[in-house]
Structure 1
Amino acid sequence: MFSVRALTRAAPRTISRAAGASLRSSAIARPGLARTPAVKALLPTRAAAAFSTTVRRSKEEDVEVDEALSAKLESEIQIEEDIKANEQQPASIKDFLDNSPFELVDTPGQEVVKLIRNYGDEKITISFSIADITNFDPYADENLFDEDDLPEESSDKQSQQQQQNQDDGLEGDEEGLDEDAGAPINLSILIEKPGKTAGALNIDATARDGDIVVDNMFFYEDATVARIDNPEAAQKRADVYPGPPFGSLDEDLQVLMERFLEERGINETLAAFVPDYVDVKEQQEYLRWLKNVRTFVDA
């Protein structure tokens, strides 16, 4: 679930970056010394060549900047720790970790999280990343149709709805957003049968709004191609026939594939756990990053 915490935390950082960029632009645009042609003619060539716009800072000024940066980092750390202390962990996380057959593999400082289990002769590895929630913009309207692309009747209905929203004072109101509609989290599901076959199924899916949606399904004759991350393996993966889009397969085949995954624990419970866990981990990693940067500045 993409929490209000993440939205409110991102807003001041965005404003701060925008303000900083504006100040930097102004500084660059402002000329250091304005010289008329007449003044330039009076200056000797060597004097002009020796001119430098480099600003020399004293050690005292450097120390002041370092101290200010450290204090700001400490302030951000305190904000994050206060949020963490006042925010309860979603029940879906504890429920999943207590009852799921999957083993959680979460390495501090790494973006990718893995869930691993054995199912009969199979080894199942599910990988997902906090990058999906970091890059998620809940206000993005990129999936909306352009009014010019809609049929005339649909365009008229859309205009009427927009007018109704304006009349009701709903347009632009953040309360209109569904806080429970979290960021879609991409899942890479690898199913192997060690000792029985060298091949593997690799399924691309998405955990969204409590459901697992299968996007694509690949088969690799060599499981190491799907498992190992290096340029050679990536090239081999790119060369593999990807198969048709999952949504274009026979409906019965789609249903059976979804049941195949559900029997292995890739179900609604996992779909609820993944976005909530990603949200919590993103906060932990951001806090860790702040502390590491402050430690480096203070060293």
Structure 2
Amino acid sequence: MAGFIRTARRTILSASKPLTNGSGSRIATASSLLQYEPYATGTVHKSPFKANILRILSNEIEYQHDYAPPHQPATSFNSFMVEDRPGEKWVTMRGKHGDNEEIKIEVTMFDGCVFVPKPGEDSSGEDVLLHISLLVDISKGQGCPELEFLCSAWPGRLEIQRVYLLNRDRIVTNPYMGPDFRKMDGKLKKMLYDYLEARGVNNELCVFLHEYMMNKDRIELIQWLGNVKSIVEK
């Protein structure tokens, strides 16, 4: 999974400019789509097929907006600033710890799920737990190696997957990337969790990220529908 998220990150970071200039403008765009009359033909005649597609898209936009209206995304959480990437599946968070530590967190939208039994002895069926991946980079300045944590953010729970020691100033062939976190001593694992906790990377952050990504998912969907509708209209 570490190789996948690194490849995905490099691909996304090298992508072209986002579709819009900000999340607020996207919400405004989504709202304005609801006020558009798809059958205002004017001097242009629409075929029944095209008119039907526009009607379906308009109804879907209206349904999505009314079912769970997106709100203005948060720009900060505790000590972190949130940098949204409109039109992309990533969000970047930046913060500081102490006088010389820079913290950067790169967050995916929902990228997986697991099915768990519903709570209660008499209940049947399964619940779905959505998964978010995090890359947490902790740097103490140029010339000093960085600590990088690959983590899973479950609803209300942080889980460390891997811990890397990176020296970005020096290229090493086949570097040793550290032990398997699952096989590490329990006291050492607790120490690393406490290390992240002291820097605000904790269960509380996971709760925030799931709420944030649920809203972002709604914004991106409405924007995508609006873009499709605009293309069909031309």
User: Does the pair score TM above 0.5?
Assistant: yes
Larger radius of gyration: 1
1:224 is displaced (CA, Å) by 9.3
Aligned with 1:199 (options 136, 142, 145):
145
Over 3 Å counting, the alpha-carbon distance change for 1:241 and 1:127 in structure 2 is: same
Select the structure with the greater relative contact order (CA < 8 A; seq sep ≥ 6).
Answer: 1
Letter in 1 for 2:197: E
* Residues 182 and 275 in structure 1, CA contact (< 8 A), matched pair in contact too: no
1:186 correspondence with 2:121 = no
Q: Distance in 1 between matches of 2:113 and 2:209?
A: 18
Q: Secondary structure at the match of 1:184?
A: strand
1:201 is displaced (CA, Å) by 1.3
Over 3 Å counting, the alpha-carbon distance change for 1:223 and 1:286 in structure 2 is: farther
RMSD: 3.2
Partner of 1:280: 215
1:138 is displaced (CA, Å) by 5.4
Q: Distance in 2 between matches of 1:208 and 1:217?
A: 18
1:217-236 correspondence to structure 2 within 5 Å: 217-222=163-168
Aligned with 1:290 (options 210, 218, 225):
225
Aligned with 1:242 (options 177, 182, 186):
177
Letter in 2 for 1:193: K
Aligned with 2:199 (options 240, 243, 264):
264
1:104 correspondence with 2:88 = no
1:206 is displaced (CA, Å) by 0.9
Partner of 2:8: none
Partner of 2:47: 63
Q: Distance in 2 between matches of 1:138 and 1:203?
A: 22
* Residues 106 and 112 in structure 1, CA contact (< 8 A), matched pair in contact too: yes
* Residues 200 and 223 in structure 1, CA contact (< 8 A), matched pair in contact too: no
Would you tell me which structure has more helix in proportion to its own residues? 1
Aligned with 1:211 (options 150, 153, 157):
157
> Structure 1 runs of 4+ off > 4 angstroms?
none
* Residues 212 and 267 in structure 1, CA contact (< 8 A), matched pair in contact too: yes
Letter in 2 for 1:66: K
1:7-18 correspondence to structure 2 within 5 Å: none
Q: Secondary structure at the match of 1:185?
A: strand
Over 3 Å counting, the alpha-carbon distance change for 1:118 and 1:74 in structure 2 is: same
Among all aligned residue pairs of Structure 1 and Structure 2, give the percentage whose two residues are the same amino acid. 25
Q: Distance in 1 between matches of 2:94 and 2:186?
A: 29
Over 3 Å counting, the alpha-carbon distance change for 1:224 and 1:122 in structure 2 is: farther
Q: Distance in 1 between matches of 2:220 and 2:103?
A: 26
